[in-house]
Every structure is written in structure tokens, then in C-alpha cells.
Structure 1
Amino acid sequence: MSAPIIAVIAFAHISPFHLSVPCVVFGDEHPGLPRFILRVCAVESGSLPSSAGFSISCQYGLEALDGADIIILPSWEAGRPVPPRLLLALQQAAARGVQIVGLCLGAYVLAEAGLLDGRAATTHWAYAEDFALRYPQVRLDPTVLYVEDGQMLTSAGTAAGLDCCLHLLRQRYGAELANGVARRLVVPPHRQGGQAQFIEQPLPASAGDSRLAVLLDWIRANLAEPHSLDSLADKAAMSRRSFTRHFRQLTGRTVSQWLLDERLALSQRLLESADHNIEQIARLTGFGSPESLRHHFRQRYAVSPSQWRQSFQ
């Protein structure tokens, strides 16, 4: 099998951080993963000035998008006109069925090309209002870290680009290998919740929130046990009302939503890497019954647990 080709689009005044995100995920060698063919493709010819004051020299131009398996656009400058040749290249790639990724404000370019019309998408929360006014035909969701709709994948601001690229790895090669890359990069393998949790409350603001962070780690290690709002509030030594408020501030989710996310994530890992049968996985993840596991799994991922397992064998 030939190595996957990842084409990353660079342009004048690009942020070096945004450009580095797909390069470090797909350009570095990671144990267990295939070596990707990474092509950084310049929109303009010649040396490209970056936003940090140094220049970037690219070996490839937009013609190198041909043959790419995934095309990634790392951000953009809001309000900056998009060159027609870039729009055409993306439209042609979309017609070939290529997966196209817009990190942060890269969603503007995908929307300008008409590739997000009628689709769900996201972008940096600070630009959500402007984006919605410019592209009302896009179903913008400014609360999530990333969203995939068909062959289009968009992410929220800055560090969410890492979440998005790790999602691409997890989608193709499973949670364990993607988690290994995350560990090497010293980032969470999968951040639950959405942009809101980072906008309003980026760090625990009280001793109670720090106590909750410890509790979350304990719950993850004991997902097989039955958990309720009351039992967890008692364990945190907080009132039900105070626990609910602090939990929402810390995670951006309700207790039931967060528990479901964690149980589904664990079921994914067990299906990909363990020999447990569906009944055992349902018990280990706290779903209780295979029927409950199948219901929630299919509702979230549109495939059955068995189909998910087969795709990683």
C-alpha cells in the first residue's frame, strides 16, 4: 500500500504555529504509523513571509494538490481575498473525493469555495459572528472543537488544530496509535466538550474545581461502576447544585453527557485493541447491557460496535 499523501497549503503571512500543526502530526515519524508523504504547497511562488518575521520556502506549488489523499489549509486571514486558482484547486480536489480540512480560519476559504454550503462547520469562536454573516448557507457550530461533514473537516481556533489532526489519525488507524502520537506531543489524546469550556473557564478557578479534576480521573478509571449526579456530588463533598455548576464550568458538559462521551471513547479503544466480546465491553464501560452499548454507539457513530471493530482488524 502506498504511503498516504498529505498536502498542506502555505501562503504569505501564514502563522508558523498553524503551519507546524499538520507538519508535526503527519511529517514526523511516529511508531506504529505509516510514514506519510507530506507536501507543503505554496499558494504564491517564491519565498513566503510568515507572520513571525521569517520566510518560508516551499518545494511545491498548488499543482501538487493533485494526487493528495488529504488537503489541509492551516488557517487564513479573515477578510483576505482568496486567489481564484486556490478556490479552483480546492473545488477540483473536492470533485475527486479528496478529504479537505480547514483549520481555524481555514474554514473561510472552504466556505468561499462553496465547499461548506449546506454542511456543518466550525471556526474560531471570535470570528463566528462574522463567518455566519458572510456564509449564511453554512451550518456553523461555534461550540465544538472540530466537526466533520462528509469529506469536509473544520476545526476551531489555534490548538484545536491538533485535536482535529489527531482525529484524522484516530479515524484511520485507531485510538491507541493516535493516543501514542498525542503522548509524544504531550497533549490530551481527545479533549471532550467544546470551545465554550476554554472561552469561559480555561483553568480550574477554585479549590472545588481542582477537586473535580481529580474526581474526573477517578471516574475514568472506574467507568464500569454506576455513577449518578447524586453519588458523584457526594464523592466530591459538594451539594448537587454546586457540583452541577462547577462540573459544567470545568468540562463544558452535563454529567450525563460527559459520562456518555467517556464510555463511548473507552468502548472504541476496547473494540480496537482488546479481545473482549460485546457483553464484556458493555460491562467494562458501564453501559450495563449490549443493547445499551449498541444503541448509544450506533447513535453516535452511525455504525454498530461490531462494524467498528471490523474496520480496525
Structure 2
Amino acid sequence: MPHGSSHAPRPAGAHRVVVVVDANSNPFELGCATEVFGLRRPEIGRDLYEFALCSPEPRTLMRDGFFTLTGVAGLEAAEAADTLIVPNRPDVEVPRRPAVLDAVRRAHARGARLVGFCSGAFTLAEAGVLDGRRATAHWQWADSFRARFPSVRLESDVLFVDDGDILTAAGSAAALDLGLHIVRRDHGAEVATAVSRRLVFAAHRDGGQRQFVERPVPDLPDESLAPVLAWALERLDAPLSVADLAARAAVSPATLHRRFRAQLGTTPLAWLTAERVALACRLIERGEARLEVVARRSGLGTAARLRTLMRRETGITPSAYRTRFGRR
């Protein structure tokens, strides 16, 4: 390659994730991509992805000149990507390099999955691949984005958007949320949970949660949701209701709802449903084939409700999930 080389090779046939880094790119999102897709996974027993960084220049000055990135592959590495993560940077009004935009267009044309973290949505929109599609970006750039790209269906108050072959995250920690969502989509809930455990990060935050959480750190220790969440996670198979959670937290349902919105950006019922579906996925991955048993042990009640909620939360049926992620 003209400059640098890719990450150490992974086994042949692995899904190849390539991150394009350009001038003034944000190091945080680059670190998120490396953590989720680039690290070895001895705790899982196999590597999940083949990973590489690439750049159009031999030396890339990162955001605000914090450091210079060298020794990575040239832009031609993007041609081999199964998933291409596009550059993001804070100077959203500055056009992206034509060579980078061309690489994005070629990747899209050949069916590669495209991912934009934070202002990466601007790169995708400039390349023309978001026209008529759903996307998100950091809330502070929502007005600018809509003015420049009116044909894109921007959802400015969510953590991330999965629009099939194009996925976008709102920025900062939402890049980790989207990265784990992609791992879950590719390898199942069990593997995604293992990766999140290594990251010491929440295993599952739904993309529809709000970007801005009013009180990410509660003012008073006794307002933390952690105790009631831990209590509920041990009892997902029980007929828990929002009223039960509120009683455990010793608050009214309305107060509990406000605290969930403030601390997690979601509702108690939505959180409880998502956790039950995640448990159902893990049970299927571990080999439980009887849907009635999965439904009962995950607290979803019936096989019919399990089918409905799994399709809503994961996009596929329990049988399709078993085919894809179940034990061989």
C-alpha cells in the first residue's frame, strides 16, 4: 500500500470493518470503532471482525491538532470493506475530500454497509447516499444539516438510526451504542453482552432513546435507578409491572417515569420490554428451542407475544434468530 498498512490480519473470510480517518477527525469516535470492532476477543474465543484504519494522506492531523495519525493504510483499503465507517469532524461546513466521497459512493454501490458516527452523517449526505433515507446526527448540528440536506429524513432526537445498510449515531457515547447494536445484529445478544461487559458499558440502549438526558448523574444517591434496575434484572421472568418497579423504588409510578426519562432517556415499560427481549435472545442462543419456554422464562408470557416483540425489537422472528445465532 502507498502508506502504512492495515491492522494485523484476521482469519480469512471475516467481516472486514474499515474506518476512514481524514483531517480534523474526532479521536473519540475513532477510539469507539477500534474498541468495538478492532480488539481481539479472547473472552469470546474468536475474533469478530477484520479491522483496518485508512486515510487519504500519510499523515493525518486529528481534531484541533491533538496528535498526528501515521502508519495506517491508504484510502484504497476502503475498497475491501464490508462495513465502512466514514470520517467525522467538528468543522461540518467544510466540504469533504472528493476522494473520500468517491470511496463512500463506491462502497455503497457494491453493497457495503455504511456507518456514520456524529458528524459522519454529513459525509454520507455529501456523498449523496442518504437522499430519501433516515439518519441522525448530533443535536447541535440538526438545523445546519436540515438546511443543507433537505432530502434526508433527519431524526435529531435519537441515539442512533439503523436504516438497513446505512447506520448513523448521534455522537460521542452514542457511537458505542451503535457499535454494540451492530455487533448484536451481526453476532447476537450473547456476544454483544460480552463485548459491552469488557467495555464496562450498558449492553443495550435502544436507538430511539433521546440524545440529551437531563440528569445523567442524579443529584441524590437515593434517586439512582441502579438498585431497582438490578432488582428487576433478577426477576425478568416474574410478572413485573411499572407499578412493581415503582413500589420497589418507593416512589409513585409518575416519579419513576420521570427518573427513567431523566437518567436513561426511556420509559420504565420500554426498558423492561427491551431487557426481556434481550434475555429471550440469549436463551435462544444458548439452545432453548421451545418458544413457550423462552417466552415464560423471559417474562414475555406467550409465544405469540414473543414473536411480536422480537420482530419489533430485532427485526427478525425467533425462528430466524435461532437459525442465525443459535448453537450449531
Percent identical pairs in the alignment equals: 41
Q: 1:244 to 1:190 in 2, by over 3 A?
A: closer
C-alpha distance in 2, partners of 1:279/1:215?
A: 27
Is the 1:33–1:177 Cα contact (8 Å) retained in structure 2?
A: no
Q: 1:255 to 1:53 in 2, by over 3 A?
A: closer
C-alpha distance in 1, partners of 2:156/2:51?
A: 30
SS at match of 2:316: coil
Aligned residues: 311
Aligned pairs (5 A) from 1:185-204: 185-192=199-206, 196=210, 198-204=212-218
Per the alignment, residue 179 of structure 2 pairs with: 165
Report whether the alignment pairs 1:152 with 2:163.
no
Is the 1:145–1:156 Cα contact (8 Å) retained in structure 2?
A: yes
Residue number among 177, 180, 200 corresponding to 2:194 in the alignment: 180
Q: Under a length normalisation based on structure 1, what TM-score does the superposition of the two structures give?
A: 0.92
Residue number among 237, 240, 247 corresponding to 1:234 in the alignment: 247
* 1:163 CA drift (Å): 1.7
Report whether the alignment pairs 1:311 with 2:324.
yes
Aligned pairs (5 A) from 1:26-45: 26-31=37-42, 32-34=45-47, 36-43=49-56, 45=57
Gaps of 5+ in 2: 1-11
C-alpha distance in 1, partners of 2:266/2:216?
A: 14
Report whether the alignment pairs 1:56 with 2:69.
yes
* 1:279 CA drift (Å): 0.6
Residue number among 220, 223, 232 corresponding to 1:219 in the alignment: 232
Gaps of 5+ in 1: none
* 1:41 CA drift (Å): 1.3
CA deviations 1:220-247 (Å, max 9, x no partner) are 1111111223332222221233233223
Aligned pairs (5 A) from 1:90-109: 90-109=104-123
Per the alignment, residue 136 of structure 1 pairs with: 150
C-alpha distance in 2, partners of 1:35/1:290?
A: 31
SS at match of 2:20: strand
Is the 2:16–2:51 Cα contact (8 Å) retained in structure 1?
A: yes
Q: 1:302 to 1:3 in 2, by over 3 A?
A: closer
Q: Under a length normalisation based on structure 2, what TM-score does the superposition of the two structures give?
A: 0.88
C-alpha distance in 2, partners of 1:235/1:20?
A: 38
Per the alignment, residue 99 of structure 2 pairs with: 85
Per the alignment, residue 75 of structure 1 pairs with: 88
Q: 1:193 to 1:259 in 2, by over 3 A?
A: farther
Residue number among 278, 287, 302 corresponding to 1:265 in the alignment: 278
SS at match of 2:210: helix
Is the 1:121–1:138 Cα contact (8 Å) retained in structure 2?
A: yes
Is the 2:213–2:265 Cα contact (8 Å) retained in structure 1?
A: no
Residue number among 16, 22, 31 corresponding to 2:33 in the alignment: 22
SS at match of 2:80: coil
C-alpha distance in 2, partners of 1:36/1:254?
A: 34
Report whether the alignment pairs 1:293 with 2:278.
no
Letter in 1 for 2:24: H
C-alpha distance in 2, partners of 1:312/1:265?
A: 13
